[in-house]
Chain A
Amino acid sequence: MTAPLAASPGQFASTRSERPPLIELESIWKTYGMGAATVHALQAVDLRIADGEYVAIVGQSGSGKSTLMHILGCLDVATSGRYLLDGDNVQDLDDAALAAIRNRRIGFVFQQFHLLARLSARRNVELPLAYAGVRSGAERRERARSALESVGLGNRLDHRPGELSGGQQQRVAIARALVTEPAIILADEPTGNLAGDQSAEILALLDDLWATGRTVVLITHDPGVAAHARRLVRVQDGHVISEEVSR
């Protein structure tokens, strides 16, 4: 585990938000279905997230927060609007370019962990490196080992997901999100499937990631989880209804 910075993270909040936006959404619409069955999941959403921010996107289920997370993560493309990621217009990119963004600039942490059951922890963490074109197997193994060590699983390299607790599985998933050293960590209900103490472990890990300079975006419906972030973005009925700095 990385050592916390000497200064309290809160002291950085004001200076960090003055940096140029890493994520910039302008009047993003996302529409599903056609005719009478049309659902506007997102309606003219504007959102800016600066490099190094710790943001929680909160909302009830069906509010549109998952859709927003998919668009932020380049897992889905907006129906209309503009999405600039570090200055690049994501709306214009093809499949291969979007795949490269997901691979190198965004690390995903899912509620369901989404680990491949037949692979060891280390092989799971190696997956993004393989898609990143790291050809040397030795390099992939070394980077995966180091990522697992950074989440405190250096002694579980060869365990399969089924042999790990839920909290440990989620830590493997976080190691996998970190291994390509992305700027953004996108965590979708990361503690939704975890018991209290394991949940606290994972949130502490995310706090550390932010403290060491990563942009962390949390998607959650749980106010307790959202409280870890430095800024809240509330989503309701497809609109961003409030943005508040929590600390």
Chain B
Amino acid sequence: MNLLGSLQTAVESLIERRLRTALTTLGILIGIAAVILTVGLGEGAQARVTSAIDSLGTNLLVISPGSATTGPVRGALGSAATLTLADATALGSKLDCPDIAAVAPVLQSSQTLTAGPNNWTAPVIGSTASYLAVRNRQVVLGTGITSAQVNSDAHVALVGTEVAASLFPGTSPAGQITDIAGVPFTVIGELNPAGSSANTNLDNLVIIPISTSEELFGKTGPFANTLSGIFVSSTSSSTMGAAYDEATSLLLQLHHISRPSLADFTITPQTSLLSTASTVTHSLTILLAGVAAIALLVGGIGAMNIMLVSVTERVPEIGLRKALGATRIAILQQFLLEAGLIGLTGGVLGVGLGLVGIAVLPHLLGTSLIASSLAIVGSLIVATAIGLVFGVYPAMRAARLSPMVALHSE
């Protein structure tokens, strides 16, 4: 019998046992939908992390103070105040660090802001004019902080969208006055919305000149006259490594440290943040996909079970077909086609359900899911393959039946 004839026979037999076919298909369907959804969740998380880290700034190196080593004890990151404005100035030298494009020293503290009846608490970041370029931010309303304002300790501030909305609801923040720690500042601009990075709300911040921030909160405490950190951007993504090496050797030299292992600072390239975060979400995706794969396996075993029942039930039919001239191959082909069709149908419906889930779930859960074309095509192939693989054994049993035994089994 040709393939088309076998296909017709397979379809008719599946339709004849439509309830059983539907239930078997359901097993595959659920497994495939689970795979599509978990992969979608994983890809969504991955994309969120990537965009969050991208929004931290382009070609960014983060220099953090710390890891004070006292005898054999190495302290935690940031446990020592080791970075100074002089370090930042030196890093800006084109002579020593040709691959560093811009440097932004940062002095950061959480402060209370008031404007009329409204008050709000936000991280206040003291930095220079190059902060925006290094962190890949733009001023969407008003102007940025100039070098002249940094040099003159100007009381000017840039605010994130969340701060602006909280302090000046319904009005433009540019030109307004806000008190930071009781000192009045003029808001000169609002930053572009940037969303949230993994653990930082990039829209809840205030930027003021670093000189002003030193006056405001940099003179007291254990970290007096030092920086919270330095952001450095390399000239391009290909010079990240060179910029990293230049910054490391310059800071070691300035801090009079001979062995890099004793460095009292840590430089973290943005790419390493990215790869760490990617690894985490990737592991999560694999775990979820593993659970989905088990669901699929259970569906496949269910399909095999049903195919075996189907073979047993149709022994007389198989015997008759053989008596009429069906070869083993023809019988094998018929049952494999039935199993493959169950798999393919389950796959198509499962992908459909998965896509519906991807469209609907973000509205219910607030997470983003991404429909991966690889997962869709892969699922369809896997579903069909599962039908075929789990159909092989029942089909072979059917094909091996002796026509005589099969005919007389009623």
Distance of B181 from chain A, by nearest CB (Å): 85
Distance of B334 from chain A, by nearest CB (Å): 11
Using known A-B contacts A70-B404, A118-B16, determine if residue A102 contacts B322 with beta carbons closer than 8 Å: yes
Tell me which of B5, B325, B402 contacts A99 (CB under 8 A): B325
Interface window among A4-12, A54-62, A124-132, A148-156: A124-132
A243 CB–B CB distance under 8 Å: no
Chain B residues with Cβ under 8 A from A116's Cβ?
317, 320
B2 CB–A CB distance under 8 Å: yes
Task: Tell me if A131 and B1 are in contact (CB < 8 A).
Answer: yes
Distance, CA A127 to CA B407, complexed state (A): 16
Chain A residues with Cβ under 8 A from B322's Cβ?
75, 99, 102
Most buried by A among B322, B324, B402: B324
Task: Tell me if B317 and A128 are in contact (CB < 8 A).
Answer: no
Near B by CB (< 8 A), chain A positions 16-55 give none
Task: Tell me if B329 and A96 are in contact (CB < 8 A).
Answer: yes
Distance, CA A103 to CA B320, complexed state (A): 11
A95 CB–B CB distance under 8 Å: yes
A112 CB–B CB distance under 8 Å: yes
Task: Tell me if A114 and B407 are in contact (CB < 8 A).
Answer: yes
Near B by CB (< 8 A), chain A positions 106-131 give 108, 110, 112, 114, 116, 118-119, 127-128, 130-131
Tell me which of A75, A118, A127 contacts B403 (CB under 8 A): A75
Distance, CA A18 to CA B172, complexed state (A): 116
Distance, CA A127 to CA B327, complexed state (A): 13
A: contact size bracket: 20 to 34
User: Main SS of chain B's interface residues?
Assistant: helix
Total chain B interface residues with beta-carbon distance under 8 A: 24
Chain B residues with Cβ under 8 A from A110's Cβ?
407
The total of interchain contacts (Cβ-Cβ below 8 angstroms) comes to 65
B20 CB–A CB distance under 8 Å: no
Chain A residues with Cβ under 8 A from B250's Cβ?
none
Distance, CA A176 to CA B410, complexed state (A): 21
Near A by CB (< 8 A), chain B positions 297-317 give 316-317
Task: Tell me if A108 and B323 are in contact (CB < 8 A).
Answer: yes
Distance of B326 from chain A, by nearest CB (Å): 5
B215 CB–A CB distance under 8 Å: no
Distance, CA A99 to CA B330, complexed state (A): 10
Chain A residues with Cβ under 8 A from B2's Cβ?
130, 133, 135
B12 CB–A CB distance under 8 Å: yes
- For B16, give the chain A residue with the smallest CB separation: A118
Chain A residues with Cβ under 8 A from B403's Cβ?
75-76, 102
Chain B residues with Cβ under 8 A from A103's Cβ?
324-325
Using known A-B contacts A95-B327, A99-B322, A103-B324, determine if residue A114 contacts B404 with beta carbons closer than 8 Å: no
Using known A-B contacts A112-B410, A118-B16, determine if residue A128 contacts B404 with beta carbons closer than 8 Å: no
Distance, CA A135 to CA B5, complexed state (A): 9
Task: Tell me if A75 and B407 are in contact (CB < 8 A).
Answer: yes
Distance, CA A104 to CA B330, complexed state (A): 16
Chain B residues with Cβ under 8 A from A108's Cβ?
323-324
Distance, CA A135 to CA B329, complexed state (A): 17
Task: Tell me if B404 and A102 are in contact (CB < 8 A).
Answer: no
Distance, CA A133 to CA B12, complexed state (A): 20
Distance, CA A112 to CA B316, complexed state (A): 11
Tell me which of B316, B324, B326, B407 contacts A176 (CB under 8 A): B324
B328 CB–A CB distance under 8 Å: yes
Task: Tell me if B325 and A100 are in contact (CB < 8 A).
Answer: yes
B321 CB–A CB distance under 8 Å: yes
Distance, CA A103 to CA B324, complexed state (A): 5
Distance, CA A114 to CA B323, complexed state (A): 10
Distance of B254 from chain A, by nearest CB (Å): 86
Contact bitstring A69-94, B, C-beta under 8 A = 1, else 0: 01001011000000000000000000
Tell me which of A76, A96, A131 contacts B321 (CB under 8 A): A131
Task: Tell me if A99 and B320 are in contact (CB < 8 A).
Answer: no
Distance of A111 from chain B, by nearest CB (Å): 10
Distance, CA A75 to CA B326, complexed state (A): 12
- For A123, give the chain B residue with the smallest CB separation: B12
Distance of B127 from chain A, by nearest CB (Å): 80
- For B324, give the chain A residue with the smallest CB separation: A128
Tell me which of B317, B326, B402, B404 contacts A131 (CB under 8 A): B326
Near A by CB (< 8 A), chain B positions 84-128 give none
Near B by CB (< 8 A), chain A positions 211-242 give none
Distance, CA A76 to CA B1, complexed state (A): 22
Task: Tell me if A104 and B328 are in contact (CB < 8 A).
Answer: no
Distance, CA A116 to CA B326, complexed state (A): 15
Tell me which of A112, A131, A180 contacts B330 (CB under 8 A): A131
Distance, CA A155 to CA B383, complexed state (A): 45
Distance of A176 from chain B, by nearest CB (Å): 7
Chain B residues with Cβ under 8 A from A95's Cβ?
327-328
Distance of B3 from chain A, by nearest CB (Å): 11
Using known A-B contacts A114-B320, A131-B330, determine if residue A75 contacts B404 with beta carbons closer than 8 Å: yes
Residue positions of B touching A, CB distance < 8 A: 1-2, 5, 12, 16, 316-317, 319-330, 402-404, 407, 410
Q: A103-B324, A127-B324, A131-B321 are in contact. List 9 more A-B contacts (CB 8 A).
A: A75-B407, A76-B403, A108-B323, A114-B316, A114-B407, A116-B317, A119-B12, A130-B2, A131-B324
The 8 closest A-B pairs by CB, nearest first: A103-B325, A131-B325, A75-B404, A99-B327, A128-B324, A76-B404, A114-B320, A70-B404
Q: What would be 24 A-B contacts, judged by CB atoms less than 8 Å apart?
A: A75-B323, A95-B327, A99-B325, A102-B322, A102-B403, A103-B324, A103-B325, A108-B324, A110-B407, A112-B410, A114-B316, A114-B319, A114-B320, A118-B12, A118-B16, A127-B321, A128-B324, A131-B321, A131-B326, A131-B327, A131-B330, A133-B2, A135-B2, A180-B325
Residue positions of A touching B, CB distance < 8 A: 70, 73, 75-76, 95-96, 99-100, 102-104, 108, 110, 112, 114, 116, 118-119, 127-128, 130-133, 135, 176, 180
